[in-house]
Amino acid sequence: MDYNAKRAVAVRSGNARLRPGVIAWLVVLAGLVFSISVGASGAEGLADPSKPDPAIEGAPNEASGEDLYQRGFYPEAMAEWKRAVEEKQDAGAAFQLAEAYFDAAVVERNMEEAIKYYVIGAEWGDARAQADLGTLFDKGWGVPQDLAKAAKWYEASARQGHPSAQYNIGVMYEEGAGVEADKVKAYMYYQLAIEGGFPKFATESLENLSATMKPGEIKEATKMARAFKPLTREESAAEVSVTAKAVTDEISVE
């Protein structure tokens, strides 16, 4: 199977969220229950429900925005994530903004904004943003297709232990797409993807690849997989070390 066929299974990181309509219904239900529970004690002292939970440490951050999003306060969540990016350089908040602008579930799709925030999140070391930015370049979604850039961001994510990114960069190393072909690295990343929880495609790819490799190559790849130590977000950010403006200026949104 060539790379063009294999890359059809490339996935975006995504978020396991309830759909807005479902959330709205749950918010209404929760509000009714909450109103009943506080009726006897009076309304004094109630927190503003459109504000993040004050128990969340470090706000504004990804978590405080997610708290608002899950309760159905979408404009407030977007504003919270933007504050987190601007005030705290929160990579996770940048990723969440990118997802929101790409998925268009609660705001209009805006590929320019999505790409901007994917790049910011990726530059600041968020593995999900790196993986998704790799997919954009891989597929040519909103940007010119560029397999070398796809490989760069997949591998940055893979080096943090992101299993689907490990599979994707494994495919690229096996096929020599965007990178120089390297069966040993491909085997290593397939093995890591399987161990990390992405076995569906990686297992078949590993078995097929192993049939074309020498025992010594498999031994070397296995040794590399066992010695693998994921980078931290901070270490990854230091490695990629680019400026978001420089990258986005090179991209013409399609």
Please state the pTM of the whole predicted model.
0.85
Which letter does DSSP use for residue 7 in this model?
G
Helix %, strand %, coil % for the chain, to 5?
65, 0, 35
Among residues 185, 220, 226, the alpha carbon closest in space to that of 205 is found at 185
Average pLDDT, the chain: 86
Which tens digits make up the pLDDT trace of 204-222?
Answer: 999 999 999 999 999 999 9
pLDDT at 27: 43
Give the least confident one: 10-14, 196-200, 208-212, 240-244: 10-14
Which tens digits make up the pLDDT trace of 61-95?
Answer: 999 999 999 999 999 999 999 999 999 999 999 99
Of the two residues 250 and 202, the one the predictor is more confident about is: 202
Of the two residues 59 and 29, the one the predictor is more confident about is: 59
Mean pLDDT along residues 160-169 = 98
For residue 26, what are its two tokens? 């749950």
The span from the first CA to the last CA of the chain, in angstroms, equals 29
Q: How many CB atoms lie within 10 A of CB 206?
A: 23
Mean pLDDT along residues 175-204 = 97
Distance CA 48, CA 102 (A): 29
Mean pLDDT along residues 98-127 = 97
For residue 248, what are its two tokens? 């986005």
User: In which band, very low, low, confident or very high, does the pLDDT at 241 lie, cut at 50, 70 and 90?
Assistant: confident
pLDDT at 243: 58
Give the least confident one: 27-41, 103-117, 139-153, 223-237: 27-41
- Does the pLDDT of residue 34 top 50, yes or no? no
pLDDT at 96: 98
Mean pLDDT along residues 40-69 = 80
How long a stretch of residues is the chain?
254
User: In which band, very low, low, confident or very high, does the pLDDT at 12 lie, cut at 50, 70 and 90?
Assistant: low
Mean pLDDT along residues 158-173 = 98
pLDDT at 45: 36
Task: Report the SS3 class of residue 168.
Answer: helix
- Does the pLDDT of residue 160 top 80, yes or no? yes
